[in-house]
Amino acid sequence: MILKQWHGFCLCAEDDALFPPDAQACKTVSAPLVFLVQRDPLRSRGLFRIRDLAERSEPETVRCLMPAEPASGELAGFVRAHGAGVLNVRFQNAFSVLEAWQKPKKNGLVLTLVGLGDVGGTALLALKLLGHEFSKIQIFDPNKAQCARYELELNQVLSLDGDALPEVVSCEEKDLFHCDLFAFTASRGVPGLDTTVQDVRMAQYEANRAMVGAYARMARNTGFTGLFCQISDPVDHLSRSVFLQSNRNAVGEVDFAGLLPEQVQGFGLGVMAARCTYYARQLELDEQNLRVYGPHGQGLVCANSCGADYDAALSASLTEKTRTANLRVRELGFKPYLAPALSSAAVSILRLVRGQEHFGAIPLGSAYFGCRSRMTPFGAELVREPIEPALLAELQRTHAALEAFEY
């Protein structure tokens, strides 16, 4: 292994060609430690945190959700003690993102929220009241009167605890990516209440893919180094689409000069976890043992436990109830947006910026897969635990289906 110092980082790689030109040789390992790798950008992560050296080179499958076989040696001991990052230098902006994510925000974070429909408007209310981490929330919507109304009213809200609340301001298109987090909630083609479509989320894919693509290209063109939070449906597929579209040049060629995979995260699993808990309470199940994985919709996997108590039949019933919970609300004559806006968007984003365990769709192989993770200056750190073989096989099938999707 070759060690070099660069802008306060200790970089480690097997090939001298992977280092930035201005990196300087060093002899001692120190923190923060970053391993440089060169992997297929279409099937590999860009920047992620590890706690064991074995995690640096493991195949990017759902087995990453399980503990890796511990590595041995002096370097492995250092990683276990201090943690480390892994950076894929095949992405042109890899080092820019690495540096940007290490810098603390002294005056609070800036969030841009696009779309003030049912989900966006509800999420904005929660973020205004609870988002003390944000100094400013920029809002953007084609309906300018809607923007003006939210700016006027939400800046007239009292603080519950006396702490400063984020300022809400209307945003011009040219300033959309002057932020730390960009949250996209806008949606087209939402099926009406009289629809016969069973998977209303996937029905929105084509219309929303085209719309979000414009923002993906804008993120690329502005050199955005923050986090793109994909909230509108279908969350997992659109997250992958944002990543892909941001990495195409003006003539459609893939050049990997756009967003790193970790710069995009999907927010749809939070409400599925909440719905699973709702139905588990009716069955008097242990809420602490519940697990949810995979996409927000078809392919979702709920489990009563990931350990020895895993019950396949009970878990299948929980999955079906959870996956179709939105249809129960539609049967009452309402669009189901309150729980998604709060659980998937507002709560999950706040837990992310606080470095807490949260639900989100993160890159894994050539798909975005819903699971639990923590956000760190080195990107997502997966929550790992033993998983029963039968449940693991179910997760592998779901992941394979996501990877097979035609984008």
**Residue 123: what residue type?**
A
Looking at residue 148, its amino acid is A
Mark whether 244 and 286 lie in a shared domain. Answer: no
What's residue 177's pLDDT? 98
CB 226 within 8 A of CB 182: yes
- Write down the pLDDT at residue 340: 97
Examine the domain organization and report whether 362 and 242 are in the same domain: no
Q: Which of 62, 83, 100 is the last residue of a domain?
A: 100
Same domain? For 352 and 289 the reply is yes
State residue 192's pLDDT score. 58
- Judge if 220 and 300 occupy the same domain: no
Of the residues 212, 240, 266, the one at which a domain ends: 266
Residues 119 and 24 in one domain: no
What does the alpha-carbon distance between residue 183 and residue 115 come to, in Å, rounded to a whole number?
9
Verify that 290 and 355 share a domain, yes or no. yes
Q: What is the pLDDT of residue 105?
A: 81
Query: Could you please report the per-residue DSSP string of 164-225?
Result: PPPEEEE--GGGTTSSSEEEE---S-PPPTT---S-TTGGGHHHHHHHHHHHHHHHHHTT--
CATH number at residue 374: 3.90.110.10
pLDDT at 38: 98
CATH number of the domain that residue 195 is part of: 3.40.50.720
Residue pLDDT, tens place only, 218-274: 999 999 999 999 999 999 999 999 999 999 999 999 999 999 999 999 999 999 999
Same domain, 133 and 178: yes
Q: Identify the burial level of 74 via C-beta atoms within 10 angstroms of its C-beta, where 0-12 means exposed, 13-18 middle and 19 or more buried.
A: exposed
Of the residues 100, 126, 148, which one is the last residue of a structural domain? 100
pLDDT at 102 (0 to 100) = 92
Low-confidence ranges of the chain (pLDDT < 50): none
Neighbours of 97 (CB within 10 A): 21
Residues 260 and 124 grouped into a single domain: yes
Could you tell me the residue range of the domain that residue 213 belongs to? Answer: 109-266
DSSP string, 357-391: -EEEEEEETTEEEEEEEEEETTEEEE------HHH
Q: Are 70 and 18 part of one and the same domain?
A: yes
- Are residue 50 and residue 81 in the same domain, yes or no? yes
pLDDT confidence of residue 172: 96
Which residues make beta-bridge pairs with 33?
Answer: 10
Per the structure, the count of domains in the chain is 3
Is 338 found in the same domain as 240?
no
Are 209 and 348 members of one domain?
no
- Residues comprising the chain, all counted: 407
Q: What pLDDT digit, counting tens, does each position of 91-128 carry? A: 999 999 999 999 888 789 999 999 999 999 999 999 99
Burial class (CB in 10 A: 0-12, 13-18, 19+), 370: buried
